[in-house]
Structure 1
Amino acid sequence: MNRFSYFFWLAAVYVATTTLNIHAAEQPNIVIIMSDDMGFSDLGCYGGEIQTPNLDSLAAGGVRFTQFYNTARCCPTRASLLTGLYPHQAGIGHMMEDLGKPGYTGNLNANCRTIAQVLQPAGYRSYAAGKWHVTRNITPDGNRSNWPLQRGFDRFYGMLSGAGSFYDPFTLCRDNRLISPFADPDYKPATYYFTDAISDHAVRFIGDHQRDHAQQPLFLYVTYTAAHWPMHALPEDIAMYKGKYDHGYAAIRQERLAKGAKLGLFDADQGLAPQAGNWEQVKNKEREIACMEVYAAMVDRMDQGIGKIIAELKRTGRFENTLIFFLQDNGGCAEPMGRNLAAGRDDGPRQDKPTRPLIAADVLPDRLVPQTRDGFPVRQGPNVIPGPADTYIGYGEGWANVSNTPFREYKHWVHEGGISTPLIAHWPQGFNAKGELRKKPAHLIDLMATCVDYSGAKYPSEATPLEGRSLRGALSGKPIEREAIYWEHEGNRAVRVGDWKLVAMHARPWELYDLSKDRTEKNDLSKIEAAKVREMSAMYDAWAARANVAPWPANPNTGNKKGGNKKGGAKKQ
Structure 2
Amino acid sequence: MANTPTSRPNFVLILVDDMGFSDIGCYGSEIRTPNLDKLAHGGMRFSQMYNYARCCPTRACMLTGAYPHQAGIGHMMENTGSPAYQGYLRDDVVTIAEALKGGGYRTFMSGKWHVGGAYDPTRPQDWQPGEEGHPTPRQRGFDRYYGTLDGAGSFFAPYSLMEDDAFVNQGTESGSLKEGQKDQRGAVGDYYYTDAISDQAVKMIEEASQTEDPFFLYVSYTAPHWPLHALPQDIAKYEGHYRNGGWDALRTARHEELKGLGILDSRWQISPRDESAPPWEDARNQDWEDMRMAVYAAQIDRMDQGVGRILAALRASQAYENTLILFLSDNGGCAEFLSENGWVDRYSDWTPDGRPMRVGNDPDLLPGGPHTFMSYDLPWANASNAPFRLYKHWVHEGGISTPLIAHWPSTIQPNQIVHEACHIIDILPTLQDAAGIAHPDEHNGRPVLPLEGESFLPLLSGAKWSRQGHIFWEHEGNRAVRLGQWKLVSKHGGRWELYDMQDDRTELNDLSEKNRPKVEEFGGLYNAWAERVGVLPWPLRR
Q: TM-score, normalised by structure 2?
A: 0.90
Cα drift, residue 375 of structure 1: 2.5
1:388-537 matches, cutoff 5 A: 388-431=369-412, 433-461=413-441, 462-475=447-460, 476-537=462-523
Distance (whole Å) between structure 2 residues aligned to residue 24 and residue 399 of structure 1: 43
On the 8 A contact 1:473/1:480 being kept in 2, the answer is: no
Distance (whole Å) between structure 1 residues aligned to residue 112 and residue 55 of structure 2: 10
Cα drift, residue 25 of structure 1: 5.2
1:342 matched to 2:323? The reply is: no
1:134 matched to 2:115? The reply is: yes
**Max radius of gyration: which structure?**
1
Q: What is the aligned counterpart of 1:239 among 229, 233, 236? A: 236
Partner deviation per Cα, 1:512-554 (whole Å, 9 max, x = no partner): 0001111111111101111110011001111111122122123
Cα drift, residue 507 of structure 1: 1.1
Structure 1: gaps spanning 5 or more residues: 1-20, 183-188, 346-365, 559-573
What letter is aligned with 2:351?
A: T
1:180 matched to 2:169? The reply is: yes
Distance (whole Å) between structure 2 residues aligned to residue 436 and residue 88 of structure 1: 34
Distance (whole Å) between structure 1 residues aligned to residue 415 and residue 5 of structure 2: 29
- 1:378 paired residue number: 357
Distance (whole Å) between structure 1 residues aligned to residue 286 and residue 406 of structure 2: 38
Distance (whole Å) between structure 2 residues aligned to residue 243 and residue 286 of structure 1: 8
Structure 1 consecutive aligned stretches of length 4 or more whose deviation exceeds 6 Å:
21-24
Q: What is the aligned counterpart of 2:261 among 248, 260, 263? A: 263
1:61-80 matches, cutoff 5 A: 61-80=42-61
How many residues in Structure 1 have an aligned counterpart in Structure 2?
506
SS of 1:222's equivalent?
strand
Cα drift, residue 273 of structure 1: 1.1
On the 8 A contact 2:421/2:467 being kept in 1, the answer is: no
Provide the identity percentage: 51
On the 8 A contact 1:164/1:367 being kept in 2, the answer is: no
1:33-72 matches, cutoff 5 A: 33-72=14-53
On the 8 A contact 1:257/1:268 being kept in 2, the answer is: no
Partner deviation per Cα, 1:157-207 (whole Å, 9 max, x = no partner): 00100000000002111111122189xxxxxx9510000000000000011
Distance (whole Å) between structure 1 residues aligned to residue 330 and residue 394 of structure 2: 13
1:103-182 matches, cutoff 5 A: 103-136=84-117, 138=119, 140-144=127-131, 146-180=135-169
Structure 2: gaps spanning 5 or more residues: 120-125, 172-187, 442-446
Cα drift, residue 341 of structure 1: 4.2
What is the root-mean-square deviation of aligned Cα atoms in Å? 2.1
Q: What is the aligned counterpart of 1:252 among 250, 253, 262? A: 250
Task: Say which is worse superposed, 221-230 or 281-290, in terms of deviation.
Answer: 281-290
Partner deviation per Cα, 1:304-345 (whole Å, 9 max, x = no partner): 0000000000000000000000000000000002xx443899
SS of 2:465's equivalent?
coil
On the 8 A contact 1:210/1:316 being kept in 2, the answer is: yes
SS of 1:445's equivalent?
helix
Cα drift, residue 242 of structure 1: 1.9
Distance 1:286 1:485, change over 3 A: same
What letter is aligned with 1:273?
A: S
Distance (whole Å) between structure 2 residues aligned to residue 242 and residue 391 of structure 1: 17
Cα drift, residue 477 of structure 1: 4.7
Partner deviation per Cα, 1:137-159 (whole Å, 9 max, x = no partner): 54544444620000000000001
Distance (whole Å) between structure 1 residues aligned to residue 257 and residue 118 of structure 2: 44
Q: What is the aligned counterpart of 2:225 among 218, 224, 228? A: 228
Distance 1:269 1:25, change over 3 A: closer
On the 8 A contact 2:130/2:139 being kept in 1, the answer is: no
On the 8 A contact 1:68/1:443 being kept in 2, the answer is: yes
SS of 1:270's equivalent?
coil
- 2:122 paired residue number: none
Q: TM-score, normalised by structure 1?
A: 0.85
- 2:176 paired residue number: none
Distance 1:102 1:181, change over 3 A: closer
SS of 2:403's equivalent?
strand
On the 8 A contact 2:145/2:163 being kept in 1, the answer is: yes
- 2:348 paired residue number: 369
Distance (whole Å) between structure 2 residues aligned to residue 28 and residue 309 of structure 1: 17
SS of 1:196's equivalent?
helix
- 1:350 paired residue number: none
Distance 1:344 1:486, change over 3 A: closer
